[in-house]
Amino acid sequence: MNALERPLPRSDVWAANASHSTVRYHLQAEAEPDTLCRVLNLFALQFLTPHSVQVSQQEDLLDVEIGIGGLSWHRAEVIAQKLRNLVCVAEVSLENQARVELAIA
């Protein structure tokens, strides 16, 4: 599927008037071959593409950071709860990133 065939991102009907921001998810999950696929699939099912993903392994756990923009805080929390429901995920925290706007002179 190319960029022209992709559906538009889903709107957040529960928080339609809420401002959208960039959020960062911090996860600890089991270091299993399918863990990243399971985690990233939750975003893919909603046609969301993270702008950053960082992963490092610490013994039997993966430390995962996922940055994604254009979410209302409500929608970000719903996704965090879905991540917590994955069997392979041990811990999830969510933080709102300050918006940085670049001015082009």
Task: Provide, rounded to the nearest whole percent, the portion of the chain with pLDDT above 70.
Answer: 74
CA dist., res. 79 & res. 84, Å (int): 9
Is residue 12 within 8 Å of residue 75, measured between CB atoms? yes
Give the architecture (CATH level 2) of 18-97. Answer: 2-Layer Sandwich (3.30)
Q: pLDDT tens digit string along 81-94?
A: 999 999 999 999 99
CA dist., res. 55 & res. 78, Å (int): 22
Q: State residue 20's pLDDT score.
A: 73
Q: Identify which has the larger pLDDT, 33 or 102.
A: 33
